[in-house]
Structure 1
Amino acid sequence: MSFKFEKLIIWRKSMDFGEHIFKLTQNFPKDESFNLTSQIRRASDSIVLNISEGSILQSKLEFRKFLGYSIRSLAEIVTCLYKSKNRKYISEEDFNKLYNESYSLMNQIIAFRNQIKE
């Protein structure tokens, strides 16, 4: 037995993405704990939380809305990645890897959302 969202590829990829973000931020300076570290972690958690929450709603329109929240959280992460790179908390290589992962995940969520018809 499983929840419907556990079968979604975008949910599984979002779970993995969140873990990548968490591991990356473990090396951020301690004085960023309540700022950038917290912000990017909450945004990455928000992606997968909105997918799971939206999937159990009766209305497909509502599910589409929650997927939109996930997309917005991904955009927020991209901005946090830029800030992290500019502050020299992450390497160019880590930035590119997570930027590309963000872009791919965003496109997958958008494609999935576009398949949902009311």
Structure 2
Amino acid sequence: MYVFSFEKLDVWKESIDFSKSIYLLTSNFPEAEKYGLTSQLRRATVSICSNIAEGTSRFSSKDKAHFISMSFSSTMEVLNQLILAFELKFITEEEYSIARSQIESISNKLNSLRKHILNS
């Protein structure tokens, strides 16, 4: 099977795992949040890995870096939503801490990738 360039990126792999963990985490959210915070968190998390994948298909470094920036922005959106979920007591302190650590790792890798793209 052919492996596309984005599939080789550690940050993409990590963001896929993060998306799966957010899907599991939000499955315990109140039913009233199905079309609210649950949906928003899931869509924003999927946007992280999707923008990485889409960005690698672009031809110019500027375009590639733009999509990595969008991925970073989605990562910050997820962090904001997780803060809200924690404050609303939809997630425990441990769940919040684990997710926040994952976000820190992903955001650091995205920043490094963006710098690498712009410098190449």
Q: Which letter does structure 1 place at the counterpart of 2:16?
A: M
5+ long unaligned stretches in structure 2: none
For the residue of structure 1 that corresponds to 2:49, the secondary structure is helix
Distance in 1 (CA, whole Å) between partners of 2:39 and 2:8 is 28
TM-score, normalisation: structure 2? 0.95
Residue of structure 1 equivalent to 2:32: 31
Q: Kindly tell me the number of residue pairs found equivalent between the two proteins.
A: 118
Distance in 1 (CA, whole Å) between partners of 2:104 and 2:50 is 19
Instruction: Work out whether 1:42 is the aligned partner of 2:43.
Output: yes
TM-score, normalisation: structure 1? 0.97
Q: Which letter does structure 2 place at the counterpart of 1:47?
A: I
| 1:7-46 deviation line (CA, Å, top 9, x unaligned) | 1111111100100111000000010011100111000000
Distance in 1 (CA, whole Å) between partners of 2:79 and 2:6 is 24
Instruction: Work out whether 1:88 is the aligned partner of 2:85.
Output: no
Displacement of 1:104: 1.2
Distance in 1 (CA, whole Å) between partners of 2:103 and 2:47 is 14
Q: Which letter does structure 2 place at the counterpart of 1:33?
A: K
Displacement of 1:92: 0.3
| 1:47-78 deviation line (CA, Å, top 9, x unaligned) | 00000001011111101000000000010111
Report sequence identity in percent: 36
Q: Which letter does structure 1 place at the counterpart of 2:44?
A: A
Q: Which letter does structure 2 place at the counterpart of 1:45?
A: V
Alignment RMSD = 0.8
Residue of structure 2 equivalent to 1:103: 104
5+ long unaligned stretches in structure 1: none
